[in-house]
Structure 1
Amino acid sequence: MNEKIENILNHEGVFSVVAKGEDFPHIVNTWNSFVIFKDNNLFIPVGGMEIMEEILENENRVIVVIGTRELEGLHGMGIGVKIIGKAEIFQDIEEYEVMKNKFEWARAVMKIEILEAYQTT
């Protein structure tokens, strides 16, 4: 599945992270091109995401949904993958410096450890 994830991230599409909010799921979005995939982890620049950060302090399980129309999927053009992972937000890891150099607005980086991944489309 790692190769499919890498291929999707090399094409533009929406990258969505869903966490368990107190009363309702909470979601944040970014673009595939903003994400770094390294050592079975996803790294996302964090600009705002204050509510997401609060949620992750109590419950760090997340669902990530990625996709692109540019690649062949299960039933024609368009591929999607659902990822189950554990997320944390950092300011003191190497990947934060990479993100800060690329996106001056980044105040931190979200690291998502991939636990499971499934192709959905």
Structure 2
Amino acid sequence: MDPKFLAVIKDSTPATIVTVNANPAHVVNTWSHYIKVVDDHTLLIPSAGMHSIENDFPTDNHLTITVGSYKVPGTTGTGCGFHIHGTGQFKTDGAYYDEMKAKFDWIRAVLLVTIDDIEQKI
């Protein structure tokens, strides 16, 4: 996994999650430092709400996540940002849920993201 990406998600900045199959698109936010990298293809994101994107998933579970940090050098100077493309599913039980619930006692579910690609934008 790209070290710059890992540095960006460790920063305390917003992460935006977008699904596009609704009209209009649904957008939810969390904090980038809440995102747990399981491996090169899997992210876990704690969810207290996120009902709008969850309701989109039966039709199309593709999503885009944007993260950025002014603290991490980018392609042309200060500031670095990424788009994460993949698919998502909400888990309300199992090992991933238990792990994240122990860290974030306020969650109702875990958004399990299977990464298709991570693209540096700036």
**Superposition TM-score tier, normalisation by shorter sequence:** over 0.9
Unaligned runs of 5+ in 1: none
C-alpha displacement of 1:116: 1.2
Which residue of the partner structure matches residue 81 of structure 2? 80
Which amino acid in 2 is paired with 1:14?
A: P
- Which moves more between the two structures, 27-36 or 90-99? 90-99
Unmatched tracts of structure 2, length 5 or more:
none
Return the TM-score normalized by structure 2.
0.92
Count of aligned pairs: 121
Structure 1 stretches of 4+ with a deviation exceeding 6 A read none
Q: 1:37 to 1:80 in 2, by over 3 A?
A: same
Q: Which amino acid is 2:42 matched to?
A: N
Q: What's the counterpart of residue 38 of structure 2?
A: 38
CA deviation map 1:45-102 (0-9, x unaligned): 0101112111112110001101111110011111000111011101123121122111
Q: CA deviation at 1:2?
A: 3.3
Match of 1:25 in 2: 25
Does residue 11 of structure 1 match 2:16? Answer: no
SS at match of 2:105: coil
C-alpha RMSD of the superposition:
1.3
TM-score normalised according to structure 1 size:
0.92
